[in-house]
Amino acid sequence: MTAELLMRRLVHQGRQQSIVAVFAVVLAVILTGAASCSRDGDSRIPSGAIVRVGDSWLTRSDLRREMPAGLSAEDSLKFVRAYIAGWVDSRLISELASSDVDMDEIDRLTADYRNELIMNAYRNRMAADAVDGYFAEDSLRAFYEAYRADFVTVHPMVRGVYVKMPADSRKLPAVRKLYTSGKQDDIDRLEKAVLGAAIHYDYFRDRWVDWEQIESRIPYDFGTGGAEAAASRGKLDVTEGGFTYLLEITDYLPAGSAMPFEAALPAVRERMLTRRHRDFDRRLRRDLRERAVADGHIEYFIK
């Protein structure tokens, strides 16, 4: 029985195999194929060789690195076949093209790309070590005010309270009375009431969240009005599938509105950090050039 027939029989029998077992079977296929073509005692053949094209070898370890996790036995076999075929084709075309393509230009482009990768890796590492990610609140707020027009809501945003509880919870009547209250004592009592009883509890009166995050939690059709309809309604009390959903919207911002500072804060911080990285990178490159010129490592022959 061939290794491929063995593989297909395992698949057709419907055996459930882990990725380790699947990979073992796939490697058995590869090993069988490789062994049938190997030449005993030939030291030129690397360990685990699968196929050779010219001076290039594909080995089992190469294939193992490329094998995606989670494939079925049949998909693993398809991947192995496709990968080997693609590997062979790319090497053959490369060999054939080398006589018709300007290899000096290819080498130059390869060297440029390698230098670019080295430079970016070095600059990123230096920036990670040297650039401080902390910003004082007054600096964040000043940046926000200077570029306020750039920070607008993509989706409607809301503030309020959301609770999901079992419909038969003994604490539900108390929660119903408390979740719309803005008094601090009632908020404290609400948090004690939902503790251990609520499936979800989110108090977001003090921060803005995307309406989509809230809407997706509640099995209720808000219609085309969405957040605006929910805001005009004020509160919602819906029971569905054995759970009660309570929602109060205290504030609402439509899409395209100027984003409040609290909501814009992550984007503000990201923009400021990007600018700080850019400034550091500019200084780094300037200092490296000046130092290299001073050491004689760089010499310009044009003015």
Are the beta carbons of 202 and 161 closer than 8 angstroms? yes
Residue 250 has pLDDT above 80, yes or no: yes
The model's confidence at residue 30, banded by pLDDT at 50, 70 and 90, is low
How high is the pLDDT of residue 14? 41
The model's confidence at residue 39, banded by pLDDT at 50, 70 and 90, is low
The model's confidence at residue 34, banded by pLDDT at 50, 70 and 90, is very low
Contacts of 249 (CB under 8 A, 6+ apart): 158, 159, 160, 227, 230, 231, 233, 234, 235
How high is the pLDDT of residue 43? 64
How do residues 95-141 score in pLDDT, each as one tens digit? 777 777 787 888 888 898 998 898 888 888 888 888 888 899 999 99
The identity of residue 147, as a single letter, is: Y
How high is the pLDDT of residue 33? 47
CA distances from 268 to 150, 212, 263 (A): 10, 22, 9
Residue with the bigger pLDDT between 173 and 38: it is: 173
pTM above 0.85, yes or no: no
How do residues 165-204 score in pLDDT, each as one tens digit? 999 999 999 999 999 998 999 999 999 999 888 999 999 9
Residue 13 has pLDDT above 60, yes or no: no
Are the beta carbons of 161 and 214 closer than 8 angstroms? no
Residue 270 has pLDDT above 90, yes or no: yes
Task: Quickly list DSSP for 231-277.
Answer: HHH-EEEEEETTEEEEEEEEEEE-TTSBPPHHHHHHHHHHHHHHHHH
Residue 159 has pLDDT above 90, yes or no: yes
β-bridge partners, 57 = 52
Q: How far apart are the first and last CA of the chain?
A: 77
How high is the pLDDT of residue 12? 45
CA 101 to chain CA centroid, nearest Å: 38
> Phi-psi bin for 219: left (phi > 0), alpha (psi -120 to 50), beta?
beta
How high is the pLDDT of residue 120? 86
Backbone angles phi, psi at 24, to 5 degrees: -65, -40
When mean pLDDT is compared across 31-35, 92-96, 283-287, the lowest value belongs to 31-35
How high is the pLDDT of residue 222? 84
- Reduced to 3 states, what is the DSSP secondary structure of residue 166? strand
Rounded CA-CA distance 135/119 in Å is 28
Are the beta carbons of 165 and 174 closer than 8 angstroms? no
